Amino acid sequence: MILHLIRHPKPVVEAGICYGRLDLEAENAAAVGESLRAALPPGLPVWSSPLRRCLTLAEYLHPAPQIDERLVEMDFGSWEGVRWDDVPRAELDAWAADVAGYAPPGGESPRAVQRRALAFVASLTVPEAVIVTHAGVIRTLLAHWQQLPPAAWPQLVFPYGSRTTVEVPR
């Protein structure tokens, strides 16, 4: 199965804010959508995170994208909407010490994101699809498929509006 994993355009949010599940508008969604539509094979089904920064882009790529909650970004719990500089240092250190397993207070771990994202992919029955989602979801999927140790996960970086195409064995 071929998957075109697309990260949403840049969200409208002040720099330095943790925004995981905050439902934010996207900057330049139309321009990003036009560029991606020209680069993607025509007629593919499109799935999207329900958050506006993804769904707005998905609607440029397909007249009726399918929404799946399993594609939503990591839940950062009490960190949501907080400046990264204001997150307690001990909590950031705990996350750095356990990149895959640590969950922010009231949130979820990257490993939990990975489980739900892999469950979504396992549910697909199409040979090729477009998935509009978030960097955290894309990172955990690629880390799994590339068999990367958690310490290497932060090295997987995806620019806003980027496409990563992978072939996933069935």
62 CB contacts (<8 Å, ≥6 apart)?
A: 44, 45, 46, 130
Three-state secondary structure of 74-138: CCCHHHCCCEHHHCCHHHHHHHHHCCCCCCCCCCCCHHHHHHHHHHHHHHCCCCEEEEEECHHHH
Residue whose tokens read 């996933």: 168
Beta bridge partners of 48: 67, 132
Q: Report which secondary-structure segment, H or E, holds 166.
A: strand 163-167
Each domain of the chain, given as residue ranges in start order, spans: 2-167
Mean pLDDT, the chain, as a whole number?
A: 96
CATH of domain 2-167: 3.40.50.1240
Look at residue 169 in the predicted model and tell me its pLDDT.
83
Interval 37-53: pLDDT, tens: 999 999 999 999 999 99
Q: Report which secondary-structure segment, H or E, holds 39.
A: helix 29-39
Interval 53-93: pLDDT, tens: 999 999 999 999 999 999 999 999 999 999 999 999 999 99
